[in-house]
Amino acid sequence: MAAKPRTSQKLLAEMREQWRLLSLYERFEQVVAVALSLIIAVVIAIALVQLTLGVLPHVLSGTVSPLDHEVFQNLFGMVMTLLIALEFKHSIIRVALRRESIVQVKTVILISLIALSRKFVILDTKATDAATIAALSGATLVLGVVYWLLRERDDRVAGLDRGELGSE
């Protein structure tokens, strides 16, 4: 059975309760995390409005073709930028809600992978040299391997916490 999502009132009450137990620096971290979260939320909202206002008139009038390579690159570049911002905000919210004490390395690597994926989508292959593409590919491969290793470690630790022993 899935856990019920906490309401904002319960979250606020829980944060107030935890506030008393926090050190001065932990309170500072909390304030910074909430402020960053609000700032990023405003940026995401503005970017979404600009994306909608920029694309919707063209779609409704039929002047934009999603099959056009440049249109595809621009549209999905903007969408992926919003996804990156949302993932970044999500990681900050986890810190603000005290689910994690710091931003996790795995989350930063995931955001980096999404940013590299965005770069590949918007990349103009005609104007980009092979060395740049190779460097981006290498960075993607390395980040993917590091993410996989971190996930494997976390899965192993979670298995040990549950008392599972691997059969070898």
Q: Is the pLDDT of residue 1 over 50?
A: no
pTM over the 0.75 mark:
no
Q: Is residue 2 part of a domain?
A: no
Tell me the pLDDT tens digit for each residue of 127-143.
889 999 999 999 999 99
In whole angstroms, what is the distance from residue 94 CA to residue 140 CA? 25
In whole angstroms, what is the distance from residue 2 CA to residue 50 CA? 37
Structure confidence at residue 4 as a pLDDT band (50, 70, 90): low
Q: Is the pLDDT of residue 168 over 50?
A: no
**How high is the pLDDT of residue 54?**
83
Q: Is residue 11 part of a domain?
A: no
In whole angstroms, what is the distance from residue 156 CA to residue 164 CA? 9
> What is the domain extent for residue 83?
22-161
Select from 162, 29, 4, 19 the least CA-distant residue to 94: 29
Number of structural domains the chain divides into: 1
